[in-house]
Chain A
Amino acid sequence: MKILVCISHVPDTTSKISFVDNGTRLDSNGVQFIIGPYDDYALARAVELKESNGASVTVLNVGLSDTEPTIRKALAIGADDAIRVHAEPADSFFVATQIAAHAAGYDLILMGRESIDYNSGVVHAMVGELLGLPSFSPVMSLELSDGVVKMAREIEGGKESLEASLPLVAGCQEPIAEWKIPNMRGIMSARTKPLKVVDPVAVEARVRLDGYELPPPKGAVKMIAADNVGELVQRLKTEAKVI
């Protein structure tokens, strides 16, 4: 079985976000970049399937050369080889088109439910559409038995159980697998695993970035004494008008 895991390269969840160049570029100063946390679940599940069922795992990233340490980390966690499509990920459709161009022959295409920078949660469905494959997200469990894929998907206020056949695309989230931490052997072997850099297929982005902005600063918290909870009730009624 061949598994493709698509990973985004994003600021760590605790990063402070700010912008430079007149609000057109993320200030990456002091920001630590990681594998997208949901993509990390997808990768962990792929490595588990490799161990239990036997499979090859390829990771793919659409990004410039600064994403290579992130890709090497994925190799250290257990992927066998990697593809980097050498391009700025311009928009979801651009990324989906690049992924689709390399997805032929894979049985399972695993992604995260969403990238934590753009949070669109659409690349998997676009890839499915481009390839004519079913796609599912957010997938909380994924089991293979006799060619049937059994999945559970989170829906508003509940859970949906599904069955489908390979090949398919899935956007993953916890608790699909436990995140894996690379060990020393993984880190050593990652250095020599193949990482292929390819040019993007020509496709125009459909969305143009006009600029970024930050939310207005929050007003100061109003503290209320613990022995005067009636005041909170009053303020929620007359001041905040939320009850």
Chain B
Amino acid sequence: MMKSLVFVETAEGKVKKTSLEAVAYAHGLGGAVTVIALGTADAQALADVGKYGASKVLHASDAALNEPMVQLYTSVIEQAMRAEGTEVLVLANSSLGSPVAAKIAVRFNASLAANVVELPRPGAACIVKRSIYTGKAFANVELKNAIKVITLRKNAAEAHEVGNPVAVTPFAPSLANVDANVKITAVEKATGDILLPEAEIVVSGGRGMKGPEHWGLIEDLAKTLGAATGCSKPVSDMHWRPHHEHVGQTGVKVAPQLYLAVGISGAIQHLAGVNSSKCIVVINKDPEAPFFKAADYGIVGDAFDVLPKLNEAFRAAK
């Protein structure tokens, strides 16, 4: 029974889905689960984390923590771990969670596993399965040291409601000026309300869409489905779509319930970004397109013909 601490990330005050998955994962470990959130956040949203298995929620609400500064965040989480006697730190693998995990592992002489996909295998040793070779394989690794740090790949656990909201306990760490030499000068957030990395449904277009002027077809379908839009690398290289929409090994790794790929050939580097999707649908005019081999459902047809019909059918089924 390991005492765990989960670092949850918030966006616009709300707890991110990937962080709720981390809470669910920690709950699955069987020991007491404490959660920590940093910076301004919605009190009810934090209390509700109790529903997913947390027995205690710490909130360090100092406005100095509103900017995600890695050193400062690491120091606060370190203080929380010492105060709580944490044995395992669990967090979502993200641009913030990953460096925090690495630094905590160094400070606590901890064993670290990144991109973990399942709960530890039953038994005395803590052996977890992690994704390697860009989704092409798994490694089972034993976390040997007393303190353990686990970062999760998306969909490693499902956030189910298992309990009730809990009281939020204020946490007042000492806030040293540890990021003195670092300044965040600007943050550009992608427009649109559904963020690609967190989306449940993604509609993605490739070079087969022929040009940016045809993206309305992709966007219309995405709108009907409440989906985020993605693309292949050449599409963002040619500036048909912004860089942060490109999916694959060198781009975003998505893990939605449904990934709809239109006019994308299915190169291995693209597949590397989508292979944790639950269900893949491929629309391509070439029956030999490699993507069909990685798909659950396929339609051989012209995107310009199939997309409007598909949009109509999804709309009718609502």
Task: Check: B63 CB closer than 8 A to any chain A CB.
Answer: no
| Contact (A233, B317) CB under 8 Å given A118-B132, A161-B185 | yes
Name the distance in Å between A75's Cβ and chain B's nearest Cβ: 24
User: Bound state CA distance, A129 and B299, in angstroms?
Assistant: 50
Name the distance in Å between A208's Cβ and chain B's nearest Cβ: 4
Q: Which of these binds chain A: B22-30, B38-46, B301-309?
A: B301-309
Best-surrounded residue of A117, A121, A137, A235 (most CB of chain B within 10 A): A121
Name the distance in Å between B126's Cβ and chain A's nearest Cβ: 10
- Inter-subunit contact A207/B136 (CB<8 Å): no
Say whether chain A's binding surface is mostly helix, strand, loop, or mixed. mixed
User: Bound state CA distance, A123 and B186, in angstroms?
Assistant: 26
Chain B residues with CB under 8 Å of A135's CB are: 70, 99
Considering the complex, give the chain B residue whose CB is closest to the CB of A218: B294
User: Bound state CA distance, A88 and B285, in angstroms?
Assistant: 46
Mark contacts of B229-259 with chain A using CB atoms, 8 A cut-off: 1 yes-contact digit, 0 otherwise: 0000000000000011000011000000110
- Inter-subunit contact A215/B106 (CB<8 Å): no
User: Bound state CA distance, A19 and B136, in angstroms?
Assistant: 12
User: Bound state CA distance, A209 and B132, in angstroms?
Assistant: 12
Q: Which of these binds chain A: B139-147, B169-177, B209-217?
A: B139-147
Best-surrounded residue of B103, B133, B294, B298 (most CB of chain A within 10 A): B133
Chain A residues with CB under 8 Å of B140's CB are: 209-213
User: Bound state CA distance, A223 and B301, in angstroms?
Assistant: 11
Task: Check: B292 CB closer than 8 A to any chain A CB.
Answer: yes
Name the distance in Å between B78's Cβ and chain A's nearest Cβ: 11
Best-surrounded residue of B129, B244, B306 (most CB of chain A within 10 A): B244
- Inter-subunit contact B137/A156 (CB<8 Å): no
Task: Check: B61 CB closer than 8 A to any chain A CB.
Answer: no
Chain B residues with CB under 8 Å of A126's CB are: 102-103, 105-106
Chain B residues with CB under 8 Å of A13's CB are: 134, 249, 268-269, 272
Task: Check: B57 CB closer than 8 A to any chain A CB.
Answer: no
- Inter-subunit contact A223/B298 (CB<8 Å): yes
Contact of A226 among B112, B198, B305, B314 (CB under 8 A): B305
- Inter-subunit contact A164/B244 (CB<8 Å): no
Q: Using a CB-CB cutoff of 8 Å, which residues 136-178 of chain B contact chain A? A: 136-145
Task: Check: A188 CB closer than 8 A to any chain B CB.
Answer: no
User: Bound state CA distance, A14 and B141, in angstroms?
Assistant: 25
Chain A residues with CB under 8 Å of B190's CB are: 157-158
User: Bound state CA distance, A229 and B297, in angstroms?
Assistant: 11
| Contact (A116, B243) CB under 8 Å given A156-B198, A160-B184, A229-B299 | no
User: Bound state CA distance, A92 and B115, in angstroms?
Assistant: 13
- Inter-subunit contact A93/B106 (CB<8 Å): yes
Best-surrounded residue of A93, A116, A206 (most CB of chain B within 10 A): A206
Task: Check: A28 CB closer than 8 A to any chain B CB.
Answer: no
- Inter-subunit contact B133/A119 (CB<8 Å): yes
| Contact (A117, B133) CB under 8 Å given A207-B141, A219-B296, A233-B313 | yes
Task: Check: A63 CB closer than 8 A to any chain B CB.
Answer: no
- Inter-subunit contact B187/A206 (CB<8 Å): no
A sample of 20 inter-chain contacts (CB < 8 A) reads: A14-B268, A117-B133, A119-B115, A119-B133, A128-B99, A134-B70, A134-B182, A153-B95, A159-B188, A206-B112, A207-B113, A209-B139, A209-B140, A210-B127, A211-B140, A212-B137, A222-B297, A224-B297, A229-B310, A232-B313
